[in-house]
Homo-oligomer: A and B are copies of this chain.
């Protein structure tokens, strides 16, 4: 019975065999997960946000555990786009894994350049534009906090890109629907939601912030209610825009909440740290839960919680 559920989904015009993906920054470029799962079995691998140049990332400590969550302040450590194209993307392509490549830039021009370099790269299925990384030196640099800046980035990336472009949004805004609309108007084919919430912890022994970067991004099940709410609000306002939902997904039922709220696929992030097999486990659980509820196709549940709701 369970095998009879069709798990096929799509992100804009890209068809995926199933809706469970990794989350950017929580699976590197897939290779380290290979002992635990076959990356080709996932809907796609979402790679760590790559920038133009190699980046050292921040000083340590870079993480703090918090109740049902964690803070991170990595600062986008990475090899830069050249090394990524030379070593990381080909590895995924060779294994038949679909890659959602996350890009991050310090300026609109840098985003454009990244998109240009990635155009036509084998294995690239979707571009995820990380305009919402909280680990930047100033809040003013978070593009996703401003509808105009967000739109500017999306527009230039879209112009350079031959695959669907998903804008990754921050929940730390007064009006996420406004930012979403602005990205879609600028050409975004879909939206990834949510990036981490800005948070911090203070070490009560040293009497100083735990993180070297002072503030960091809060992820994990703690933020799931905020993430589901964001997906819900945006799907309600923009029902035809595909959403890649994420934030605290630990089980198949958690994933189902996002689908019911309007996501077409989900990313599994922090859960991988808890359980390196999480994405495949969650996929199996989701399949079983759908079967148990009598659904034959994944697409039947996307946005279902909105239907028949009078308000």
Q: Is the CB of A200 within 8 A of B229?
A: yes
Q: Is the CB of A309 within 8 A of B257?
A: no
In the complex, how many angstroms separate the beta carbon of A147 from the nearest chain B beta carbon?
A: 10
Alpha-carbon gap, A186 to B231, bound state (A): 35
Q: What are the residues of chain B within 8 A of A309 when measuring CB–CB? A: 208-209, 214
Q: What are the residues of chain B within 8 A of A305 when measuring CB–CB? A: 202, 207-209
Q: Is the CB of A229 within 8 A of B139?
A: no
Alpha-carbon gap, A172 to B305, bound state (A): 24
Residue A223 is within 8 A (CB to CB) of chain B in the complex: yes
In the complex, how many angstroms separate the beta carbon of A214 from the nearest chain B beta carbon?
A: 7
With CB as the reference atom, state the residue of chain B lying closest to A222: B222
In the complex, how many angstroms separate the beta carbon of A258 from the nearest chain B beta carbon?
A: 8
Residue A228 is within 8 A (CB to CB) of chain B in the complex: yes
Which residues of A (124-167) have their CB < 8 Å from a CB of B?
A: 139, 145-146
Alpha-carbon gap, A200 to B234, bound state (A): 13
Residue A112 is within 8 A (CB to CB) of chain B in the complex: no
Q: Classify the secondary structure of A's interface with B.
A: mixed
Alpha-carbon gap, A238 to B260, bound state (A): 42
Q: Is the CB of B204 within 8 A of A225?
A: no
Residue A253 is within 8 A (CB to CB) of chain B in the complex: yes
Q: Is the CB of B225 within 8 A of A66?
A: yes
Alpha-carbon gap, A268 to B215, bound state (A): 23
Q: Which of A11-19, A24-32, A67-75, A93-101 contacts B (4 or more CB under 8 A)?
A: A67-75
Residue A48 is within 8 A (CB to CB) of chain B in the complex: no
Which residues of A (219-274) have their CB < 8 Å from a CB of B?
A: 220-226, 228-229, 232, 248, 253, 256-257, 260-261
Q: Is the CB of A221 within 8 A of B67?
A: yes
Alpha-carbon gap, A224 to B223, bound state (A): 11
Q: A248 contacts which of B67, B145, B248 (Cβ < 8 Å)?
A: B67
Alpha-carbon gap, A67 to B224, bound state (A): 8
Alpha-carbon gap, A214 to B215, bound state (A): 31
Residue A218 is within 8 A (CB to CB) of chain B in the complex: yes
Residue A3 is within 8 A (CB to CB) of chain B in the complex: no
Sample (8) of A-B pairs whose CB atoms are under 8 Å apart? A68-B222, A145-B174, A198-B229, A199-B229, A200-B228, A207-B304, A215-B232, A222-B223
Given A200-B261, A204-B257, 19 more A-B residue pairs with CB atoms under 8 Å apart are A67-B221, A67-B224, A68-B68, A68-B222, A145-B175, A172-B174, A173-B173, A174-B174, A199-B229, A200-B229, A200-B232, A201-B224, A202-B257, A204-B260, A207-B260, A208-B309, A214-B311, A221-B222, A222-B222
